[in-house]
Amino acid sequence: MVELWYGIVALMLTLYVVLDGFDLGAGLLHVVVARSDAERRQVLAAIGPYWDGNEVWLLASGGALFAAFPGALAAGLSGFYLAIMLVVWCLLMRGISIEFRSHVQDPLWRNFWDGVLALASGLLALFFGAALGNLLRGLPLRPDGWFGLALFTDFSARPPVGILDWYTVLVGAFAVLALALHGALFLVWRTGGPVRERSLGVARRAAWVVVAAWPLVTWATVAVNPAMFDAFARRPLAWLGLALAIAGAGAILFGVRRGRDLMSFAGSCGFNAGLLVATAASLFPVMLRAVPDASLSITAYAASNDQPGLLVALGWWSVGFPLAIGYLVLLFRLHRGRAVAAREGEGY
């Protein structure tokens, strides 16, 4: 049951990254690929039906952690308190910017909120990537299971560690690049005209940068957490995730070259999902890795709820998850086709 719930949490976090990732990337890029007010409203029309629903997957993932692994959630929330507050503020400002930008028909007002959307989207991608980097590198867990982190120490990835060092910044930067590519490919698929052409130009350049940076980030991860790759060699699911990421990267490069918009976006979904699947499979059963003493790490088995609690949670999840997936499929079905900017006063 513990293994099943670890997989459920990993699945829901992967869905969050894949789904909210494309509107984070679109929000980050929209000030570049859309240059007039109508073009920017076209970008907002493309992500408008999805962005708030996509954020729910983050809340749902937190709920799954609370139900299945309360020990890991409690330690993580307390240790990353400052970072979580920054994430909450960025989520708030992103939603406010989307909803407020068209309340006043003034270029200064709209440009301000467009800048807020781009900044908040980019910072969220950076924060989430840096948070993953912290989990992969390790945390200064104490024997009581708690930890505290300075913003940075000596910027090395060796103890005593902080939130920011060369490795966590590298992973954060890679996350920004990968999600910017993801957003660009979504806009290529769902918009037309100049916005699509500029998004395609961004995607063509970003695709090669992301593919070239991937081995560098992998090498850095081997350097800071060699035990993770010892486990990778023995995990078939990790190899499956790697295969999915490689296939996704190939679909991206082929799709942008041949004008296969849906193929390239689906390839980006597969690339991001494959990386996360391989990472989760390689880390199991560790949820919070301790450095320098790995014996203090918090594992899924140590942090899990009791068996009856896991069974009850599984029953509710079995009802809620298919409903959420069904809603997602319906949403994409209803809003299929290329997005068109709403008329002034009738939407974003």
Residue ranges of domains in the chain: 2-334
C-alpha to C-alpha distances, 332 to 122, 175, 339, nearest whole angstrom = 25, 25, 12
Look at the alpha carbons of 116, 48, 183, 73 in this order and tell me if their dihedral is positive or negative: positive
Residue 346 pLDDT greater than 80, yes or no: no
**What is residue 343's three-state secondary structure?**
coil
Per-residue pLDDT tens over the stretch 120-147: 999 999 999 999 999 999 899 988 888 8
- Give the pLDDT band (50/70/90) at residue 104: confident
Please tell me what DSSP assigns to residue 342. Answer: P
Residues contacting residue 198 through CB under 8 Å, at least 6 positions apart: 32, 33, 34
Per-residue pLDDT tens over the stretch 171-203: 999 999 999 999 999 999 999 999 999 999 999
Residue 33 pLDDT greater than 80, yes or no: yes
Give the predicted TM-score (pTM) of the model. Answer: 0.93
Asked if 250 contacts 170 with a C-beta cutoff of 8 angstroms, the reply is no
Please tell me what DSSP assigns to residue 162. Answer: B
Q: Residue 31: how many CA atoms within 13 Å on its side-chain side?
A: 15
Q: How far apart are CA 309 and CA 298, in angstroms?
A: 19
Per-residue pLDDT tens over the stretch 255-283: 999 889 999 999 999 999 999 999 999 99
Q: How far apart are CA 121 and CA 132, in angstroms?
A: 17
